A and B are shown apart, each in its own frame.
Chain A
Amino acid sequence: MMISPATSLASGAADAAAAVGAAPTWVLAIPFLPMLAVVLNTLCAVFGNKTKLPAWITVGCLAGSFVVTMLAYMALSGETNTVTAWHWFDLSWGDGVGQSMVANFGFYIDNLTLLWMMFVTGLATLIAIYASEYMEHDVGKGYTRFFVAFGLFVFSMLCLVMGDNLLMLYLGWEGVGLCSYLLIGYFYKKPEAVAAAKKAFIVNRIGDLGLAIGVMLTFVHFGTLEYEVLFNSAQLQGYISAVQEGRAGDVPLMAQLIAVFLMIGAFGKSAQFPLYVWLPDAMEGPTPVSALIHAATMVTAGLYLIARMLPVFLLSEWALPVVAWVGTITALLAATIGMAQFDIKRIMAYSTVSQLGYMFAGLAFLSSTGGVFHVVTHAFFKALLFLCCGAVMHGFAGQLDLRKLSGLWHMKGWRIVSIGMLIGCLNLAGVPFTAGYFSKDMILAEAFVTPGYGYSFLGWVLLLTAGMTAYYTFRVFFRVFTGPVQYEAGDEHHGSDDHSHEHEAGDAHGHDGHSHEDHHGHFHPHAPGMRINGVLATLSVLAILAAGLYFISPEKHGWIGDMLEESTAHNIYTADHSSAAMFVIDGDAHGAHGHDSHGHAGDHGDHAHGAHGSILGYDPHKVMYYISAVFGLTGILIAAWAHGPKGLVSGFIGGRVEAGKCRMDGVAAKLGPIPRWAENKWYVDEFYAFIFVTPLRVVSHIFHMIDKLLVDGLVNLFGYLPRMLGRGAQPGQSGVLHGYALSMAGGVGVILFIVAWVTL
């Protein structure tokens, strides 16, 4: 039933076969500048530096890396280039095809890579600036450690997206996993942080195994690990044309399995069902880490993998449908959990899981532009949201419970945070004309037009999820930022128990002078300083501007579509199955929004197979803007009714007068135990513990016993056998001289007898 990818692959195959050039050596600076930061920071640690130097080293190097990335974008955009730093794996056992295992420490730069490089380095720089202030209570203690891991993360992430072979991708893949482990466990005295770090690493390892098997399968099947060779190999091209011509059955099972295994890897890293459980726990790490690693960059690695290996994914008949279903299930599941949480950082974490589900679904709906566009917009607004949460956490001594915070909008020094939060929430909720709105719409519309295994059902589920997203997003905003000014301080500072919170007098730390009704004695909230506010403002602007990407080169569905066209994730969206038919139906560009470009792909008229779907008889691309806006706004309205402050809209909407009480409490009470189940994450963790961890632990203990008793017991038995024999013969040793003499004489006698008997 995979006709659509087949038909759309013609141009993709042609693009992949395009010549690969040599990139200038200076692009090596992009990954190695962060590495330089790591080395310098390590030296800082060695020499016992107790200042903020590590932060500035990191910021400087990352900014340099970003600048070089921009230069690379200007110089190399639209081309595919490789550059090799050194030979990493280099082994051959013959001269034939596939008789060598070559993986260079080299980089492959095409538009897809550039896209990721830009937002990774850009966001990393901003978040490093933010972290330089956020982490300052740890100066001299964990500060250097933090920035070493931070730099290492950026290096690994760049290796992941820039690597020119699958092993480099794997290197980055596990490298980011390591940094995630180190940074989640940053407050290593806190048992939850340690457990969360361990969980993240191990769950990721499960995915990594899938990736590793996928890589090995690719190597064995295609005889190469290098993208350049792989995407240009006659074998792959042959399979692609087989799929194109409807002979999908001709692609060997092994080649189809590659995508399935790679997909498992992607699910692990990008926190998809059933491997998503590590991501919410990962919020134990410092907030800049949550923003950078667990929201904006690392978790999109799975998306990158699928986008990069899209030609291979298209060979498989089931990989993409599975991705679609899993993505949707994840989106819904995480949204339901997110609605019932009270920890604002965890809500954001679940929303990340949920949004990643959207992106996966988008890729699976063959809307790589939609998926990747959502990656980019999400990176900005989610980083913004996390950083705002982080500012709150930083200022209120670790307080993250939305029942204990209220009215931050009205407090002095918190306005920028509040505005940033609002912008982030609007994006996440998909309010019209925000970046998040455009990118989500692309995915949603594609769900209805792509023929597939229940895709329109998935579309409805995703729409519902969009409404839920809007609800829980604004639940946070209304509860924490609006309403009466009330707050309670958190009881700890990120688990570093010896930390004493310092108020830097004279700094831009505003204090709310009034309404300290129910907070602890001398607690003063610690409003964010210059650097945090600056970063938040910058990100807010960027999150708004990201919407503009949609209007650049509209004929390719935005700048992202333009970028992807020249890469392996060649935009199937533009070459899509429905647009041609739409073109015929509408015969005109859609002017309704002034930006609609869905209908512009008319040059693909030969794809008119008429298999596109519809929403209630309307064309999805046309009506999705309205439908999703309705779902989003409804969610916001419900949130406003339930959590909005009194006086938001006089009378009907709002009415919350206290931090801890709202209208939703009554609703929740009527729902019985369901909210509690959702708050407890549907007991998935407990289920996993019951199904996997405990049995495995029991098995391990059994193995240990077997090893001690059975395996080693047998060995000891062999040792005891001679001893037992000796015991048996022991009574013969009487110790009496005459006994020995007699037995000797007897022995001589026996020998004589035998000799006599033999000779005579």
Chain B
Amino acid sequence: MMTTLAQSGFPEAMTTLTLYHYLFISAVMFTLGLIGFITRRNLIVMFLCTEMMFQASGIALVAFSRFYLEYTGQVFVIFVLTIAAAEAALALALVVLLFKRNETLDGSVWSLLKG
């Protein structure tokens, strides 16, 4: 059944949640995160946007994991979450430091890598 679902087109009705729904949500979340990351200037918001992209990928992984009845994806998500948590701590600390340097949260102020 699942396989047929996978091979069918876009679901016509919203009666059953198929893989595509999850993936669609994931893609939307990722795109939103990306757009947010590009458009916003506030470092914290940008960071939150990256988190959003992370979670989008997490949803996709879990969805696939369920779809293929394998646990690898879920395990991976747990890894990702853990690392994301650590990362969050690190990133927020960096943001605080950057704020201390320039008294602003505007990300466009920093351009030290200019070639």
Within 8 A of A (CB), among B96-115: 107-108, 110-115
Residue ID in chain A nearest B108 by CB atoms: A736
Within 8 A of A (CB), among B19-58: 34, 37-38, 41, 46
How many B residues, CB 8 Å from partner? 13
Q: Are A735 and B114 touching (Cβ within 8 A)?
A: yes
Residue ID in chain B nearest A745 by CB atoms: B34
Residue ID in chain A nearest B34 by CB atoms: A745
Contacts of A741 in B (CB 8 A): 34, 37-38
Q: Please pick, from A733, A738, A742, the residue contacting B115 in the complex, using a CB distance under 8 A.
A: A733
Over the window 709-737 of chain A, the binary record of Cβ atoms lying under 8 Å from chain B Cβ atoms (1 yes, 0 no) is: 00000000000000000000111111111
Contacts of A730 in B (CB 8 A): 115
Q: Are A735 and B111 touching (Cβ within 8 A)?
A: yes
Contacts of A737 in B (CB 8 A): 46, 107-108, 110
Q: Please pick, from B34, B46, B108, B115, the residue contacting A732 in the complex, using a CB distance under 8 A.
A: B115
Q: Are B38 and A734 touching (Cβ within 8 A)?
A: no
* B86 → chain A closest CB, angstroms: 21
Q: Are B38 and A745 touching (Cβ within 8 A)?
A: yes
* A556 → chain B closest CB, angstroms: 95
Contacts of A735 in B (CB 8 A): 110-115
Contacts of B111 in A (CB 8 A): 734-736
Contacts of A736 in B (CB 8 A): 108, 110-111, 114
Contacts of B114 in A (CB 8 A): 733-736
Determine the distance from Cα of A737 to Cα of B84 in the docked complex, in whole angstroms. 20
Within 8 A of A (CB), among B60-95: none
Determine the distance from Cα of A738 to Cα of B106 in the docked complex, in whole angstroms. 11
Determine the distance from Cα of A735 to Cα of B114 in the docked complex, in whole angstroms. 4
Determine the distance from Cα of A741 to Cα of B107 in the docked complex, in whole angstroms. 12
Residue ID in chain B nearest A730 by CB atoms: B115
Q: Are B108 and A738 touching (Cβ within 8 A)?
A: yes
Contacts of A732 in B (CB 8 A): 115
* A686 → chain B closest CB, angstroms: 62
Over the window 728-759 of chain A, the binary record of Cβ atoms lying under 8 Å from chain B Cβ atoms (1 yes, 0 no) is: 01111111111001100100000000000000
Residue ID in chain A nearest B107 by CB atoms: A737
Within 8 A of B (CB), among A149-169: none
Residue ID in chain A nearest B112 by CB atoms: A735
Residue ID in chain B nearest A738 by CB atoms: B38
Question: Majority SS of interface residues in chain A?
Answer: helix
Of A729, A730, A735, the most chain B CB neighbours within 10 A belong to: A735
Residue ID in chain A nearest B50 by CB atoms: A741
Residue ID in chain A nearest B37 by CB atoms: A741
Residue ID in chain A nearest B39 by CB atoms: A738
* A742 → chain B closest CB, angstroms: 5
Determine the distance from Cα of A737 to Cα of B108 in the docked complex, in whole angstroms. 7
Contacts of B115 in A (CB 8 A): 729-733, 735
Determine the distance from Cα of A234 to Cα of B12 in the docked complex, in whole angstroms. 109
Contacts of B113 in A (CB 8 A): 733, 735
Determine the distance from Cα of A313 to Cα of B104 in the docked complex, in whole angstroms. 99
Determine the distance from Cα of A738 to Cα of B43 in the docked complex, in whole angstroms. 11
Determine the distance from Cα of A661 to Cα of B32 in the docked complex, in whole angstroms. 117
Determine the distance from Cα of A375 to Cα of B114 in the docked complex, in whole angstroms. 86
Contacts of B37 in A (CB 8 A): 741
* B51 → chain A closest CB, angstroms: 14
Determine the distance from Cα of A629 to Cα of B37 in the docked complex, in whole angstroms. 118
Determine the distance from Cα of A729 to Cα of B115 in the docked complex, in whole angstroms. 9
Determine the distance from Cα of A422 to Cα of B94 in the docked complex, in whole angstroms. 107
Contacts of B112 in A (CB 8 A): 735
Residue ID in chain B nearest A731 by CB atoms: B115
Contacts of B34 in A (CB 8 A): 741, 745
Contacts of A745 in B (CB 8 A): 34, 38
Of A731, A733, A738, A742, the most chain B CB neighbours within 10 A belong to: A738
Contacts of A733 in B (CB 8 A): 113-115
Contacts of A734 in B (CB 8 A): 111, 114
Determine the distance from Cα of A375 to Cα of B38 in the docked complex, in whole angstroms. 102
Contacts of A738 in B (CB 8 A): 38, 41, 107-108
Determine the distance from Cα of A396 to Cα of B41 in the docked complex, in whole angstroms. 101
Determine the distance from Cα of A733 to Cα of B113 in the docked complex, in whole angstroms. 7
Contacts of B107 in A (CB 8 A): 737-738
Determine the distance from Cα of A731 to Cα of B34 in the docked complex, in whole angstroms. 24
Contacts of A731 in B (CB 8 A): 115
Residue ID in chain A nearest B40 by CB atoms: A738
Determine the distance from Cα of A742 to Cα of B46 in the docked complex, in whole angstroms. 13
* A419 → chain B closest CB, angstroms: 94
Within 8 A of B (CB), among A170-217: none
Residue ID in chain A nearest B31 by CB atoms: A745
Determine the distance from Cα of A472 to Cα of B97 in the docked complex, in whole angstroms. 102
* A267 → chain B closest CB, angstroms: 69
Residue ID in chain A nearest B111 by CB atoms: A735
Of B41, B110, B115, the most chain A CB neighbours within 10 A belong to: B115
Contacts of A729 in B (CB 8 A): 115
Determine the distance from Cα of A497 to Cα of B19 in the docked complex, in whole angstroms. 106
Determine the distance from Cα of A741 to Cα of B35 in the docked complex, in whole angstroms. 9
* B10 → chain A closest CB, angstroms: 14
Residue ID in chain A nearest B113 by CB atoms: A735
* A11 → chain B closest CB, angstroms: 92
Determine the distance from Cα of A699 to Cα of B91 in the docked complex, in whole angstroms. 67
Within 8 A of B (CB), among A649-663: none
Determine the distance from Cα of A742 to Cα of B35 in the docked complex, in whole angstroms. 9
* B29 → chain A closest CB, angstroms: 15
Q: Please pick, from B38, B41, B108, B110, the residue contacting A742 in the complex, using a CB distance under 8 A.
A: B38
Residue ID in chain B nearest A726 by CB atoms: B115
Determine the distance from Cα of A742 to Cα of B115 in the docked complex, in whole angstroms. 17
Of A736, A737, A741, the most chain B CB neighbours within 10 A belong to: A737
Determine the distance from Cα of A741 to Cα of B34 in the docked complex, in whole angstroms. 8
Determine the distance from Cα of A736 to Cα of B38 in the docked complex, in whole angstroms. 11
Residue ID in chain B nearest A748 by CB atoms: B34
* A233 → chain B closest CB, angstroms: 77
Determine the distance from Cα of A738 to Cα of B109 in the docked complex, in whole angstroms. 11
* A230 → chain B closest CB, angstroms: 75
* A542 → chain B closest CB, angstroms: 90
Residue ID in chain B nearest A736 by CB atoms: B111
* B2 → chain A closest CB, angstroms: 21
* A746 → chain B closest CB, angstroms: 10
Of B41, B110, B111, the most chain A CB neighbours within 10 A belong to: B111
Contacts of B41 in A (CB 8 A): 738
* B3 → chain A closest CB, angstroms: 19
Determine the distance from Cα of A742 to Cα of B37 in the docked complex, in whole angstroms. 9
Determine the distance from Cα of A193 to Cα of B113 in the docked complex, in whole angstroms. 66
Determine the distance from Cα of A730 to Cα of B114 in the docked complex, in whole angstroms. 8
Within 8 A of B (CB), among A595-628: none
Determine the distance from Cα of A729 to Cα of B112 in the docked complex, in whole angstroms. 17
* B47 → chain A closest CB, angstroms: 11
Within 8 A of B (CB), among A353-389: none
Determine the distance from Cα of A581 to Cα of B110 in the docked complex, in whole angstroms. 114
Interface residues of A (CB under 8 A from B): 729-738, 741-742, 745
Q: What 9 pairs across the A-B complex have the smallest Cβ distances?
A: A735-B114, A733-B115, A735-B111, A735-B113, A730-B115, A737-B107, A741-B38, A736-B111, A741-B37
Besides the known contacts A736-B108, A741-B37, A741-B38, 14 further A-B residue pairs in the complex with CB atoms under 8 A apart: A731-B115, A732-B115, A733-B115, A735-B114, A736-B110, A736-B111, A736-B114, A737-B46, A737-B108, A737-B110, A738-B41, A738-B107, A742-B38, A745-B34
* Pairs A–B under 8 Å by Cβ, sample size 29: A729-B115, A731-B115, A732-B115, A733-B114, A734-B111, A734-B114, A735-B110, A735-B111, A735-B112, A735-B113, A735-B114, A735-B115, A736-B108, A736-B110, A736-B111, A736-B114, A737-B46, A737-B107, A737-B108, A737-B110, A738-B38, A738-B41, A738-B108, A741-B34, A741-B37, A741-B38, A742-B38, A745-B34, A745-B38
